[in-house]
């Protein structure tokens, strides 16, 4: 994923050998290599900052989803607790309607 943005591997940095001139290492070669190292460090810092932001965003999403799960579970529990008494109420209403219909059949529709 990040390989196309990174020039050097750690092994390449370790194995790098500069050609020796009469006065020491060739400055242009060393500068070019150090520019690549600087680029890679800059890229690593950018990648790390982005990943830290992603981690923070995902952590916040995780916390909000956990809170939503807790809220939904408490709503379900409350509905189940209220559902028992609501079912009794509905059952009582149904029973009263049935009794009313039976009375009409037994005693006549005129009353």
pTM for the complete prediction? 0.52
| Average pLDDT for the chain | 80
Position 8 scores a pLDDT of 77
At 41, phi and psi to the nearest 5? Answer: -60, -45
Indicate whether 87 pLDDT > 60: no
- Sequence-ordered list of residues with C-beta below 8 angstroms from that of 6, at least 6 positions apart, any chain: 40, 43, 44
pLDDT digits (tens, 9 = 90+) for 35-56: 888 888 888 888 999 999 999 9
What mean pLDDT do residues 9-24 have? 78
Q: How many domains does the chain have?
A: 1
Print the domain residue range for 26. 3-107
């Amino acid at each position: 994923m990040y390989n196309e943005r990174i020039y050097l591997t750690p092994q390449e940095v370790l194995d790098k050998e500069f050609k020796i001139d009469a006065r020491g290492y060739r400055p242009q070669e060393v500068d070019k290599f150090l520019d690549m190292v600087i680029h890679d460090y800059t890229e690593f810092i950018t990648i790390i900052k982005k990943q830290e932001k992603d981690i923070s965003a995902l952590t916040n999403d995780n916390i909000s989803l956990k809170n939503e799960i807790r809220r939904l579970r408490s709503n379900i529990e409350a509905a189940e607790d209220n559902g028992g008494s609501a079912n009794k109420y509905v059952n009582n209403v149904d029973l009263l309607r049935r009794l009313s219909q039976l009375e009409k059949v037994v005693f006549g529709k005129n009353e």
